[in-house]
Structure 1
Amino acid sequence: MTVLLVEQNVRQALALAHRACVLENGRLTLTGPAQAVLADDRLKRAYLGL
């Protein structure tokens, strides 16, 4: 089963997911296991402000 979850809270969304895809301006920029996506520096810089 596939569920498309659109959520503002990245940490909460990835806590629920096994895999994640990140779209930026309609393009797939990052995909993989949820924990790997959460640990990716590109995601941290762009969306978490770190």
Structure 2
Amino acid sequence: MTVFIVKQNANLALQIAHYGYVLQNGRIVLSGSSSELLNNPQIRDAYLSGKTVSQI
């Protein structure tokens, strides 16, 4: 079953998901298993420092 969740709390969403997609301006810029995304430095930088994924 597929469930599409739009959540501002990416950490919480990835803790309950098996796989995730990072959308930016309506485009998929990153995807992977939830553990890969949680440990991805691009995700940490983009969501904690205000940078966009494409700036990294």
TM-score class, shorter-chain normalisation, is 0.7 to 0.9
1:14 maps to 2:47: no
For 1:20-35, what aligned pairs fall within 5 Å after superposition? 20-35=20-35
Give the alignment's Cα RMSD to 1 decimal.
0.9
1:40 maps to 2:26: no
Unpaired runs of at least 5, structure 1: none
Q: Per-residue deviation at 1:48?
A: 2.6
What is the total number of aligned residue pairs between the two structures?
A: 49
When normalised by structure 2's length, the TM-score is 0.79
Unpaired runs of at least 5, structure 2: 50-56
Q: Which has the larger radius of gyration?
A: 2
Q: Per-residue deviation at 1:26?
A: 1.3
Larger RCO, structure (CA 8 Å, separation 6 or more)? 1
